[in-house]
Structures are given as structure tokens and as C-alpha cells.
Structure 1
Amino acid sequence: MKKLLFLLFLSTFKLCATNWYTDLETAQKVAIASNKLILVDFWANWCGPCKKMDRDVWSKEEVKTVLDNYVPLKIDFDTRRQLVDQYGVHGIPFVVIMDANGKVLYNKLGYTDKIQTLHFLEKYRLNTSFMQLETAYFNRQPSYSTALRLAQKYLDFSLYVEDPEVRKNVLSLAKEYLSETEDLLDSEQANYTMMEQKIELLEANVDLYDGNYRKLGRFLEKKIDEEDLRKYNWGVYCFLNYCMYKEEGDQRNIQKWENEMNKLKNPELYWTRYSKLIASRE
């Protein structure tokens, strides 16, 4: 994988000297290699507000400095209709912040001045090194397994994001990759039931991190075959139950699931996640 990332870097190194890319695939490779998100500016030659943003926003040194934290990409509204339709662009200027696989974290329609632009650029300037390998694997070979690993990485990454709005959007990305996992699953494969169960548990995990305890509670009230869970997905199930009862203050069940957590092969992983979850709420 290190060789893959090195080759991606070499293939795009010369292009990094330019201010804006014009090809999405190239921008994606640079984003993976540099651990940056992609900032896309949908524009057109006839668009007055687009020209105003070029003159009064994108060309300003303060904006350029923050923009160094992104891979900047310009998409022509008139000639790149497939991308325009794919991202639902119905007006311009339209700014999108996306990950290296093209999943959207943030978008904004219409002209924004320098102060407004700096605000969202500062807010979303995330270093994506935490999920670099998983992003590269998925980009190179989309499959249910690479999508699932990336979904889990985004879940964990959300615990380190301080801004509530950005955290919520990172969790939305985790959910998108879980949906992608489900789409890439083959019902004929031997581990289909286990993987389907895993997806449901991680979707419930998204609800937990998003603070949606009511929805998590409804999920945990469902009749679930614990024998199957113990074989494959017991750790996540224990974690969800522990967090749920901790929120409710149910001491008897807290103790029960704490004991189950401590019996796991890797309890420290779940206790670290719980500590980060509590810290993210403070």
C-alpha cells in the first residue's frame, strides 16, 4: 500500500504546482496522497458571481493560505454535465467539499464573500491521514470489504472531530459507506448474513455517536439472535448496549454489559471509543 501511495504522489507531483485542478480523477489521487479533502468550485465563463468570487475571494492571500489545506478543483458547469448532474448542481457558483472518493461533506450554493468562505474553509480543513490506507484501497478496488473498513474508519474519526456540524457530516459519510457496503454485498456469498448483521450494528453505532438514543433503543429492543452475534459481531453489540444503559443510568444492565465488554479479546478498543465518545460530548 505504501508503494501505491508513493506512485499516486509521483503521478501528481508536477500538477500540484498549479492553483486549481480541472480533472476529478487527478484531484482524487492528490487528495489520497496528501491527506486532504477536495474543494470543488462549479463555475462558468458567463457567471458573474463566479467571476466575482475569483476576483474577490479565491485570489486573496488569506483564502489561498487556508486553501492549501485542500485539493482545489474547478468544474465547468457547461462542459462537465455528468458531474453537474451527479452532484445535483442547479445553480452556480456551487462549492462542494468532498472526500477523495467523491462523497460530499458540505456544499454551498451562491456567492460567498471572503469572510463567509474563510469560515467554512477553516471549519472543514480536516487531515484525512487517519483513513488514508482505507481510502486508497476503496478508491482502487471498491468492494463490500473496503467500503466497510472505510465506514468504520469514518465512525472512529468522528470521535476526534470537535465541531458538531462537521462531526454530523462525517457520520453521514460513514452511513454512506455502510450503504455502499450493502450495495456491494452478494446475497450468495458465504458470510452474507454476518455482514448484513454487521452493517445494521454499525448503522446503530452511527445513531449512538449522533446522540440518537431513541433510535438506538428501538434497534436494541429488536429480537436478535445472540448466538450468531457471539460468533461474529458480539463486541459491537456489547458496546451499543453498554452505552445505551449508561445513558439511561440502569446500574444492573450497566454492570452486565461492562462484564461482557471486559470478556472481549480487545476490550481496550471499545473502552477507548467510549472515552472518546464521552469527551466529544463535553
Structure 2
Amino acid sequence: MIKTLKLYSLIGACLLFSSLKVHAQDWMSNLKVAQKLAAVQNKMVLMVWEEETFYDYPVVVVTSNNQSIIVGNLFSEPELNKAIWEHFVPVVVSEYVYDDLYESIKNKRSDIYLDKLSDASLKVMDINGNIVNVNMGYENDFNLSRIIEDYAFNTEFLAHELKNYAESKTFYTSYFLASKYLDFSLYSKPRVQSNLINLAKIYMNDATQLLAAEPDDKQPELSQRLELLELEADLIEGKAGRVLRKLKKMDKGLVNESIKAYQAFLYFTAHKMRNDHEKAEVWRPLVSLVNIKKVHNIVKNNL
């Protein structure tokens, strides 16, 4: 039995575990029900394949002395179970579900993502079933302390867009959820940011697929909005030069005046990132106060 463990939550608070008996709440067994509960509780889902629960499931935890130790079986430690329920909605999913999950995404996800879906590790998912912690590094795939510290998100900021997408998958719900995930990534830890951006790109890809369902006369404008959103993701990843090259190619083809404010935001941010303040100031009058704050965050994160 673990005598004293310390797991750090997203906001830096800690949970202390003792050898006292803790009531263990069973993990859920239905992924869709777990997703609905996570939506209500503004949490992520923590998922593992059922077959992994038939044997010992070792995980790494961090002690109060900041030492990493191995706990022999996650599913026999009620203290760890309590911590997981506090931060996630945990679910054990039958292998019978795997084929359906795989078939629905096999041509829409990277090989790394598909490997993550298939492997034995703990998978953090949003309420739509998309995995967030795809690239953690093998040394952290079974590090429960790191998973809690990095991925125990309070998703209230995303709640409206997550709900809209869950209820109706359209170009607009996909687009706005992708945009919101990009905003969310700006306030995340650096080692988590790339996974959140990749999650946003999943919803951008959905928007691309759903664009054809929109009226023909709206598709050129919506396609350009989506292209600009993809450039915003590039900016957050520090690719200012690439963004400027693509913006220049788009300049003569803008089809809607409302898009130009978004274009100005991207130009202004890219020039700021390159310390070209003279060129940046040309675009400042067209950038809203809300987006000025976002510019500062993007630039600061890429220093």
C-alpha cells in the first residue's frame, strides 16, 4: 500500500494520499455515457481498454519528496482511483468497440494518433472522443502524475463550442470549436500546447469535410476563413515566415471584407513575431482590442 503520494493538479494544488481506506468508485464502462458526464462536469475523459484491466497495470506517481515511484497496479489502489475521479471521468472500454472507433477515423488521423488509440496507455479524450495526449513520449505514457498535472483541464472555457459540436456536426460548429481550442492552447503549458493545436486541427479537418454541405455561394468565403484559421495555428507554433508567405498569396483573392480584419490580425501578429514593428503598425488600426491581447500572448509564447 502506498503510504504517502502527492499528485499535482492543473492549478498546482495537491492531493495527499495516506494508507487510510478510501472508498473506490468503479470506472464507467460506456464511453458515450462517460462523455456526457464529462460534458456536465467540464472534464476530460480518461480511457483505457478493458483488456488492460485484466492484469496488473503499473503507473508512475510522484511522491511528496518529488521522487518518481512505480505503483504495481493502478486498479488496486483506491487512493489513485479517487484522484482520477476528481480530475477526469474514467472509463474502461471493451475491445468490441475498437473496430467502430478505428473505422470512423482511419483515413482522418495520423499514424501516431492511430497507434495511440490502439496501445495500452491511458488516453485523455475530449467529450467528442478525440484523444488529446497523443504525443507524451513513451516515458510519460504511464505517468499518472504527469497526466493529471498536464491534462486535467477544466473545459468550461470550451463548453459552449463542445456542446454545439456534440449536438450537431456542421462546418460552423467544427470551425468554432477548432478556433476555441487554439485560444485554449495559448494558456496551456508549453509541453501540452502542440497536442492541443493538433486537436484543433482535427476539427479543422472536420470543417473541411463539412464545407460542401454549405450553400455554394458561401463556400469561397468559408474556405478562406478556414485557411486563415490554419494560419493562426501556424503562428501559435512560431511559423511567422510561412504565414506571411501564404498571406501574400491570398491578398488578391479575398472575397469578403469581413475576412480582412482576420487577415490584419494575422499580418500584425506575424510582423510582431519577427520584430518588424514598422510593418506591424500598418495593420494595427484594423485589429480589435480583443485580438491585440491575443497577439501579445502569441508573441510572448514564442519568445
Count of residues in correspondence between the two structures = 256
Equivalent AA in structure 2 for residue 20 of structure 1: W
3-state DSSP of counterpart to 1:105: coil
Q: Measure, in 2, the Cα distance between the counterparts of 1:211 and 1:111.
A: 26
Q: Measure, in 2, the Cα distance between the counterparts of 1:68 and 1:270.
A: 34
3-state DSSP of counterpart to 2:255: helix
Alignment of 1:1-282 (within 5 A): 18-44=25-51, 48-50=55-57, 56-60=73-77, 61-62=79-80, 64-77=82-95, 79-83=96-100, 85-86=102-103, 88=115, 92-107=119-134, 116-161=143-188, 163-186=189-212, 188-225=215-252, 228-229=255-256, 231-261=257-287, 267-281=288-302
Larger mean CA deviation between 202-211 and 118-127 belongs to 118-127
Aligned in 2, Cα 1:49/1:66: closer, same or farther, shift over 3 Å? closer
How far 1:248 moved relative to its partner?
Answer: 2.3
Structure 2: state its 5+ residue gaps. Answer: 1-23, 60-70, 104-113
Aligned in 2, Cα 1:62/1:243: closer, same or farther, shift over 3 Å? same
Question: Could you tell me whether the CA contact under 8 Å between 2:273 and 2:299 is conserved in 1?
Answer: no
Q: Measure, in 2, the Cα distance between the counterparts of 1:213 and 1:150.
A: 23
Larger mean CA deviation between 210-219 and 190-199 belongs to 210-219
Identity of aligned residues (%): 24
Larger mean CA deviation between 28-37 and 90-99 belongs to 90-99
Question: Could you tell me whether the CA contact under 8 Å between 2:50 and 2:92 is conserved in 1?
Answer: yes
Structure 1: state its 5+ residue gaps. Answer: 1-16, 262-266
CA RMSD of aligned residues (A): 2.9
Aligned in 2, Cα 1:100/1:66: closer, same or farther, shift over 3 Å? same
How far 1:72 moved relative to its partner?
Answer: 0.3
Aligned in 2, Cα 1:189/1:28: closer, same or farther, shift over 3 Å? farther
How far 1:117 moved relative to its partner?
Answer: 1.9
Q: Measure, in 2, the Cα distance between the counterparts of 1:141 and 1:227.
A: 29
Equivalent AA in structure 1 for residue 127 of structure 2: A
| CA deviation profile, 1:37-72 (whole Å, cap 9, x unmatched) | 11101131785354x569622443145314421110
| CA deviation profile, 1:1-36 (whole Å, cap 9, x unmatched) | xxxxxxxxxxxxxxxx94311111111111111110
Q: Measure, in 2, the Cα distance between the counterparts of 1:109 and 1:73.
A: 22
Q: Measure, in 1, the Cα distance between the counterparts of 2:42 and 2:211.
A: 28
Question: Could you tell me whether the CA contact under 8 Å between 1:92 and 1:110 is conserved in 2?
Answer: no
Question: Could you tell me whether the CA contact under 8 Å between 2:265 and 2:286 is conserved in 1?
Answer: no
Q: Measure, in 1, the Cα distance between the counterparts of 2:27 and 2:270.
A: 46
How far 1:89 moved relative to its partner?
Answer: 6.2
How far 1:159 moved relative to its partner?
Answer: 1.2
| CA deviation profile, 1:65-99 (whole Å, cap 9, x unmatched) | 1442111010123x333256355568652321111
3-state DSSP of counterpart to 1:185: helix
Question: Could you tell me whether the CA contact under 8 Å between 1:147 and 1:180 is conserved in 2?
Answer: yes
Equivalent AA in structure 2 for residue 31 of structure 1: A
Structure 2 length-normalised TM: 0.75
How far 1:276 moved relative to its partner?
Answer: 2.4
3-state DSSP of counterpart to 2:132: strand
Residue 5 (structure 1) aligns with: none
3-state DSSP of counterpart to 1:228: coil
How far 1:165 moved relative to its partner?
Answer: 2.2
Q: Measure, in 1, the Cα distance between the counterparts of 2:181 and 2:138.
A: 29
Equivalent AA in structure 1 for residue 271 of structure 2: Y
